[in-house]
Structure 1
Amino acid sequence: MPKKVITFGEVMMRLSPPGYEKFSQANSFELVYGGGEANVAISCAYLGMKAAHVTRFPDNALGKAATQFLRKHWLSTEHIFYGDHMIGKYFLEKGAVHRSSEVIYEREGSSFSLIKPSMVNWENVLKDADWFHWTGITPAISEGAYLCCLEAIKTANKMGITVSGDINSRNNMWKYGKTMQEVIPTLVQHCDVVITSSYGIREMFGLGQHEDKFKDLAIILMNQFPNIKKVVKKTRRTLSASHNQIQGKLWNGQSYIKSDMLNITHIIDRVGTGDAFAAGLIYGLLHYDDEQAIEFASAACALKHTVPGDVNMVSLENVQSLMDGEASGDIKR
């Protein structure tokens, strides 16, 4: 029986100039849909898991089109809610070589930002689920989104469902009167798996010192929040906008495990690579031991760099092949 993952968060319309054009050169935009948590669910679905995403779309043709996008990529959409009139958007100018990518968001007042806890029956949503995943972006969007996420996490705890949080966030998103330092700890204390960084641990929780290594900070975080069983990090070394190196790191309370460093020499699309890592980690922890899980997560992340769009549409066999050292890119016949 395939494992089942549920995710919760906003899905936005992504608009990009063709190829590597700058905004000032664009006469048209390519349109796809994406959002961190939905990206994770779709990636898990492509790996063979059952997956559903919980979100809220405008009650119009754009909301229906975004729903169709999720269905097309194997997600259950039975827990999508509709109301209000605006879908969140972001504009992406893809970087190349030494020119960085640029992102501009338009999401204030979106249908998702107006969600309220009373709209979602989480016991019904999480029925038969093995895993619930959220990110630090969702509670930053609005107080309603934060309270809805908190209720989902607490319900998952009550139902014995594993909870993961990818908690890296952005200070400039918090505009409704609360800070991430106030909110994120209230969610993380109920998590089993936390994906973060050294900077994230220091910034969101005020823990550790600047010179502390990730392992030391992970130990401090687990001592502060005893429910956490694993603290995970994706390390990226950026040689240029087109050439990066990726490595995963995991502390499980006893062992500090690092994946092999993967060399990505020709990046097609960097957006969604963290979500691909999270999806790979979820799949890995549900099917492998910790050492294999972090290798699987890193391989999934590396492969996303080769896929245009927000979503990592690679198969289980693709990831396992890279895990096994097959990186030649030969044609599969």
Structure 2
Amino acid sequence: MNHTGTIRAGVVGAGVFGSHHARTLALAGGVALAGLNDEDRGRAEALAASGAAGSPRVFTRLEDLLDAVDAVVVATPAPTHAAIAAAALRRGVHTLVEKPLATTLPEADLLIGLAEENDRVLQVGHQESFVARALGLPEHGPPRRFRAIRHAVHCGRGTEVSVVMDLMIHDLHLAVMLAGVEPDEADAAEVACEVRAASEGRPDRVEACFTLGDTRCKLSASRVEARPIRRLELAYAQQKLDVDLARREVSRAVGAAAGREAARDADSSGLADPLSRGAAAFLRAIRGEGPPGVSGREGRAALRLALQVERAAEVAA
């Protein structure tokens, strides 16, 4: 179903990410930010009163918000994503779910099915994919080796799930995307994990190795580091790319120079905010002008790999 006219949008979750989404939607053309909902009504009211996201109405009940909008962003703690997104899709509301899409494969399958049955857009908030595309990474073809380092300073967010589901899932999605594997066929082979830190029974630092298609992957994710790092190292037959995802820069080493420090090959300082790119793709899909930026099936593929890594991490622990 292609939407015409102004899109009435809502945001569920008025925390850090929900606030970013609300501000992004408030600035988007052809969109009216119609409402906010959060379990902590005071937090939603504070966001609405700040003026940073226009003047949206605050809804106490999720159901009332869903009845008042055409599209919604779900930016709540990960364990609540599936239930909220399912409620939205059942009401015929186009839905963008922050990563992860869900925390189990049956939940993900339910959401994908509801989106198809109700002819509604389902997009997953893997924003890093927009950076990768803008840098032209998929154009190089599948790498022989994929190395990802995603380290964060502890901030207290996302601790209701493991670091795999909180942080590594970004790079798991990128691995599927760059390895050229079809989402429905994404399956990690020979998974090996090392757990280096854990709190409250959930890993906070995990190293994972596995094979995806013809690409050997090695990922490191941590949320207890002294300084943040977001890097990719991609090795191909004739070149090696070093990608600084935080600075949006790529450096390249070619042939015999591979493995040595390379001069900066691309400066992506002009790249648009990936959150805005994701919102734009979501809105275009609602209007029938293109596919979702990251489909439900792509989100499911990243979730499947995350669950495989989590199982290996449990054994390693």
TM over 0.5: no
Is the strand fraction higher in 1 or 2? 2
TM-score by length of 1: 0.39
With normalisation by structure 2, the TM-score equals: 0.40
